[in-house]
Amino acid sequence: MLSYSDVDVPRGRIAPWLAAPLRKNRAIYTRVALAAIMINVFSLITSLFTMTVYDRVVPNNATDSLIGLTVGLVLILLFDFALKLLRAYFVDVAGARIDRDIGKSIFQQILDMRLDLGRSSTGGLAGLVREIETLRDFFASATLTALVDLPFIFITLAVIALIGGNIVWVPIVLIPIVVVTALISQPVMQKLSAETLGEALGKQAVLVETIGSLETVKSANAGGMLSERWDKAVMGHAGVSLRQRLISTISINMAGTMQTMAYTGVVIFGVYAIQARTLTMGGLIACSILAGRAVAPLATIAQLLTRINSARTAYRQIDKMMSQPPEGPAGEGIQLHNVTGGIEFREVDFRYPNAPELALTKVSFRINPGEHVALIGPIGSGKSTIARLIIGLYPPTSGLVMIDGTDIRQFSPPSLRAKVGALFQDNVLLTGTIRDNIILGRDDVDEAEMLRASEVSGAHDFISQLPNGYDLRLHDRGEGLSGGQRQSIAMARALIGRPPILVLDEPTSSVDTETEARLIHRLKNEFAGRTLILITHRPSLLNLADRVIVMARGRVAMDGPTSEVLRQVTRPRPSPQIAKV
């Protein structure tokens, strides 16, 4: 389970998901660094220009030289302007590439996420992905410039020493004050930025949950409770980010003050140096400008420290997610081709992540290819869990789930899911047309197969009456359709491509009895020769099953031919004993 407050991730080298995109942009970074070096050199030249004007031009009235110097300076300024533009452009290009590359690997990791390891809330996860921006901003922009600026502190100090001699001690004494203040604030900043991220993700989680279930929130009058959670999250976030800003402002302002002190300090000591004739007027002005510049990169770095901490926190949290092993076998995974549809559960125990109790205990059954089996039992007895295990959403905690005699953990998950048509209770549709929702980008099915699946599921009946038909665009999670309509589209999605195994969890829970009767009639032909696992509370659907498995508290309570099991369960007090009928 990802916990946002825990940032104790092993330190070390940058993880490949970040290092690879950074390496790819090496050429751009070199250009950015070169531009930054030139900009620093230009800034040294401008201060030397000032010195020359004061020392040579003003005393000698050398206006000709002034014109020459000014032309030179204008050229330098133009170059400086162009280089700054280019630097910003290159940084943006690198940023966009890094965004794309990291974004791609993070999205893939989310798709491959192992559900059995537990995961954070939807909003928290979405917020974490947004933190890519923090990383991108950090790696792609100011950091690089600041790194290039650092050696220029020494170069600038050397130039001051050359021009002003001992005056160089003024910035040399002040620089450690800035550095020490920044270093002292570091541990607090680190802690605060981890807390800030945790609070921000918590806020995002409340927001996403509320927006995602607005209808329920309104109808159940849950607004008050959620407002309270939101207020708490906002207050928490505001409080911790206020403290973070306060601490970072101390370092930033300290650097700013030291910059001014360096400038004025040089002016004050410079007066004595001028009196002692060890410094010229021009030299004094150049040194004061340079002293300010020598401290300036530290101000940028003080600002960066806040971002270093946010970037480090974001990096560690994202890395925690990225280092989780993906689902499926290590390596290639077996591709399923000719599946006959035999399913076996052997002594399967299963516990959901962080759940105190087993959801399945010692579940064993064997389903022959082409057999039609209904799973029935009270709510929470483990029926849907069995369905989730068959399509490999979770691996069993112990025991084996097999298809055609092979442990499903050995199959490549997409290949397994292509062979198992699944319909679950929540019928989530995606943004896009109805056609998109049924075909889901598969290239092994055509329009005719889509129509066939829709006709069998009954979806065609209402889609054919829509003005846009299959091109009707659905919004977020299938908004705009009734529950029954969504269910029949989800059913078409499960049937398309005639998968050899079908797992249907309450497929008719949202349809009326008449529609259900027609559907059952069509499904009888559809299921012929294919393995069916049908989870239902509806007796009418049991017509489709040759065999019934009764679940109770995560165990198989009965298993046998439909008529026999029904006879047993309709007795006044069914035997609680586990039995094979």
Ligand X SMILES: Nc1ncnc2c1ncn2[C@@H]1O[C@H](COP(=O)(O)OP(=O)(O)OP(=O)(O)O)[C@@H](O)[C@H]1O
CB of 220 to ligand X, least distance (A): 19
CB of 377 to ligand X, least distance (A): 6
CB of 353 to ligand X, least distance (A): 7
CB of 345 to ligand X, least distance (A): 13
Contacts of 441 (CB under 8 A, 6+ apart): none
CB of 82 to ligand X, least distance (A): 58
Nearer to ligand X, 325 or 378 (CB): 378
CB of 399 to ligand X, least distance (A): 16
Q: Report the distance separating Cα 205 and Cα 500, nearest Å.
A: 39
Nearer to ligand X, 276 or 379 (CB): 379
SS3 assignment for 375-416: EECCCCCCHHHHHHHHCCCCCCCEEEEEECCEEHHHECHHHH
Q: Residue 119 interacts with ligand X (CB under 6 A)?
A: no
Q: Could you give the 3-state DSSP secondary structure of residue 463?
A: helix
Q: Report the distance separating Cα 137 and Cα 143, nearest Å.
A: 9
Strand 547-552 to 501-505 pairing: unpaired
CB of 215 to ligand X, least distance (A): 21
Query: Hey, which residues between 323 and 382 contact ligand X (CB under 6 A)?
Result: 352, 355, 359, 377, 379-382
Query: Hey, which residues between 167 and 186 contact ligand X (CB under 6 A)?
Result: none
Q: Residue 164 interacts with ligand X (CB under 6 A)?
A: no
Contacts of 66 (CB under 8 A, 6+ apart): 53, 57
Which residue, 548, 561, 555, 576, is CA-closest to 345? 555
Contact 399, 389 (CB under 8 A): no
Q: Report the distance separating Cα 519 and Cα 515, nearest Å.
A: 6
Q: Report the distance separating Cα 555 and Cα 95, nearest Å.
A: 54
Q: Give me the half-sphere count of Cα atoms (radius 13 Å) on the Cβ side of residue 438.
A: 35
Q: Which residue has the tokens 């498995």?
A: 549
Q: Residue 508 interacts with ligand X (CB under 6 A)?
A: no
Nearer to ligand X, 84 or 119 (CB): 119
Q: Residue 385 interacts with ligand X (CB under 6 A)?
A: yes
Nearer to ligand X, 234 or 393 (CB): 393
Query: Hey, which residues between 234 and 293 contact ligand X (CB under 6 A)?
Result: none
CB of 538 to ligand X, least distance (A): 11
Positive or negative torsion for Cα 105, 110, 116, 122: positive
Nearer to ligand X, 352 or 365 (CB): 352
Among 384, 488, 508, 531, binds ligand X (CB under 6 A): 384
Nearer to ligand X, 283 or 377 (CB): 377
Strand 420-423 to 501-505 pairing: parallel
Nearer to ligand X, 33 or 393 (CB): 393
CB of 356 to ligand X, least distance (A): 9
For 418, the token pair is 């292509």
How many residues sit in the footprint of ligand X (CB under 6 A)? 11
CB of 192 to ligand X, least distance (A): 33
Nearer to ligand X, 373 or 453 (CB): 373
Nearer to ligand X, 160 or 502 (CB): 502
Nearer to ligand X, 384 or 457 (CB): 384
Q: Report the distance separating Cα 291 and Cα 297, nearest Å.
A: 11
Q: Report the distance separating Cα 423 and Cα 510, nearest Å.
A: 13
Contacts of 279 (CB under 8 A, 6+ apart): 163, 164, 165, 167, 270, 273, 287
Helices 169-212, 223-275: crossing angle, 10 deg rounding = 170
CB of 383 to ligand X, least distance (A): 4
Name the burial class of residue 226, with classes exposed (0-12), middle (13-18) and buried (19+) by CB atoms within 10 angstroms of its CB: middle
Nearer to ligand X, 318 or 358 (CB): 358
CB of 549 to ligand X, least distance (A): 11
x-or-dash string of contact with ligand X, 87-116, rule CB under 6 A: ------------------------------
- The overall longest dimension of the chain from CA atoms, in Å, is 118
Among 237, 383, 486, 547, binds ligand X (CB under 6 A): 383
Q: Residue 480 interacts with ligand X (CB under 6 A)?
A: no
Nearer to ligand X, 34 or 552 (CB): 552
Q: Report the distance separating Cα 444 and Cα 455, nearest Å.
A: 19
Backbone angles phi, psi at 535, to 5 degrees: -100, 125
Residue 226 identity (one-letter amino acid): L
Q: Report the distance separating Cα 25 and Cα 472, nearest Å.
A: 42
CB of 432 to ligand X, least distance (A): 26
Nearer to ligand X, 292 or 377 (CB): 377
CB of 446 to ligand X, least distance (A): 34
Nearer to ligand X, 380 or 469 (CB): 380
Helices 281-322, 63-111: crossing angle, 10 deg rounding = 10
Q: List contacts with ligand X (CB under 6 A).
A: 352, 355, 359, 377, 379-385
